[in-house]
Chain A
């Protein structure tokens, strides 16, 4: 299982990459592995304003449909349209394929997320 050092992680297995006020959000290698072959990613609308903990996407795999929760609050400013046609990109490269870009409304929420080391430990307990 791959965990990257430069990212934030949530309890629900989303990763966050921060660029100024923008947060790129995807799901982790652990998450894609547990889901199995992903067949559909339901994307939110650009402009949706969501709070941390809200569902922003439903990811369907051949064995489950799983909600993805906002790791931070903010406005959706971009969605990864490529995933509509090629949802398997998340399986192939979970960290290279973000699902949404969020304009954060409260950057301090990042403090509630885990770093790579903490996340790795978190996952070892989940197994």
Chain B
């Protein structure tokens, strides 16, 4: 008997006999012969627990992580500081579960945490209602697009090419199966080309998606986009970096109808690309089209405050195929971390983080472009990311930086072939003057 598999041979025999099978192999007779592997798996010899953990540790050392490197990479996933209280609270066993329990009878703590998360997302975006979170920024954006289609009964989505390329990819894969047209607006000088937007938008346009700050870190002219969008009776989807809302005008002030974004930067680690959380907030007018869970505040039979899932008629178990979405879960633990992060920082703290990002990013840009070897790719106001260009290939630069334990920028040429040698750098509040100076110094001698 194996120590982790409690069935004895006698147990096995008994189970096989009771279903009338001769052997374990018999259980696979339904699988065609040509698909069956006619030999044992090619596995190394068993290891002891000690040997195995040593082996795994050695493998993991091949990865270089954010503790080993100084990170100037952003492009959607950000190395912000996470106060230690976030993990201490989120890892408590009362919260740390594989699945979010939603039953109000047993889950008041979880529901209250989600309610607080929703409240803070509303405060941050200025919107009236938030859901309990979505899988990630990209899927939140797709769900927002579907809301606009449901709500306007139109069937095309206009998205700026300054929206994160991976987000655009996800939008396209979803919409392909919904017979929804996705039109991309070209950019001009690092921002959405407003003339192109005007020429693309028409009576079929359900929603317009703009990222702000955009993929290049640049602040878009949202006031103008809002006018163009709403004059056409389309809905405005704003994809935002939540940290930027510490200093930027809130999307609701710009008249956004739906605000979505990647919530990773709110107290969540980089996690090798996931799990993350998408956030979504909207107006009370669109509330009933919003997918996902929403926690509301109510009173129990004794008149005490209680939290419950609310507006469930939106969801697929009641609305069935008429529901906007099949999503009926949330990223509970990630949303919890975001909530603890926002609570810890408060309004002032978040503003401070955002201010430091802006100031350090601008210092870095000035320092790097000082000698003229590197030039700004665009001359536009930016938040914590900026693009540079030079006569040197971006890949070569990154390899050289890695030799100095610096994680370089995002190679723009990968998705924007016209931006040859373009490198997108990110500077968060975690970077020190010394680290930035070192970056500039290494760049100067490449």
Contacts and interface: CB of A to CB of B under 8 A. Distances in A.
Greatest chain A CB density within 10 A among B320, B322, B323 is at B322
Interface string B300-322: 00000000000001100011101
A56 B288 CA distance: 16
A58 B150 CA distance: 12
A64 interface: yes
A52 B288 CA distance: 26
A61 interface: yes
A84 to B, nearest CB: 10
B128 to A, nearest CB: 15
- The 5 A-B residue pairs whose C-beta atoms are closest, nearest first, are A60-B313, A65-B319, A65-B322, A39-B313, A40-B313
Nearest to B288: A40
Interface in A3-43: 39-40, 42
Greatest chain A CB density within 10 A among B313, B318, B319, B322 is at B313
A65 B312 CA distance: 11
Nearest to A39: B313
Contacts of B320: 64-65
11 contacts: A40-B313, A60-B314, A60-B319, A61-B313, A62-B318, A64-B318, A64-B320, A65-B313, A65-B318, A65-B320, A67-B322
Contacts of A67: 322
Interface majority SS on A: helix, strand, loop or mixed? strand
Contacts of B323: 65
Size range of the interface on A?
10 to 19
A67 B322 CA distance: 9
Interface string A54-74: 000010111111010000000
Contacts of B318: 60, 62-65
Interface string B250-264: 000000000000000
A42 B319 CA distance: 13
Greatest chain A CB density within 10 A among B314, B318, B323 is at B318
A61 B313 CA distance: 7
Size range of the interface on B?
under 10
A63 B288 CA distance: 16
A61 B323 CA distance: 14
Given A60-B314, A65-B313, A65-B320, 20 more contacts: A39-B313, A40-B288, A40-B313, A42-B288, A58-B322, A60-B288, A60-B313, A60-B318, A60-B319, A61-B313, A62-B313, A62-B318, A63-B318, A64-B318, A64-B320, A65-B318, A65-B319, A65-B322, A65-B323, A67-B322
Nearest to A63: B318
A46 to B, nearest CB: 15
B11 to A, nearest CB: 45
Contacts of A65: 313, 318-320, 322-323
A70 to B, nearest CB: 15
B154 to A, nearest CB: 14
Contacts of A63: 318
Contacts of B322: 58, 65, 67
A107 to B, nearest CB: 27
Contacts of A40: 288, 313
Nearest to A64: B318
Interface in A55-103: 58, 60-65, 67
Interface string B176-199: 000000000000000000000000
A62 B288 CA distance: 14
A39 to B, nearest CB: 5
Interface string B315-340: 00011101100000000000000000
A40 B287 CA distance: 12
Nearest to A38: B313
Contacts of A62: 313, 318
Greatest chain B CB density within 10 A among A58, A60, A63, A64 is at A60
A64 to B, nearest CB: 6
Nearest to A67: B322
Contacts of B319: 60, 65
B149 to A, nearest CB: 15
Contacts of B288: 40, 42, 60
A58 B314 CA distance: 11
A32 B254 CA distance: 41
Nearest to A65: B319
A65 B322 CA distance: 8
Nearest to A59: B313
B382 to A, nearest CB: 40
Nearest to B316: A65
A61 B288 CA distance: 13
Nearest to B320: A65
Contacts of A64: 318, 320
Nearest to B317: A63
Contacts of B313: 39-40, 60-62, 65
A42 B286 CA distance: 11
Nearest to B322: A65
Nearest to A58: B322
A67 B288 CA distance: 15
Contacts of A42: 288
A32 B56 CA distance: 63
Nearest to A61: B313
A127 to B, nearest CB: 22
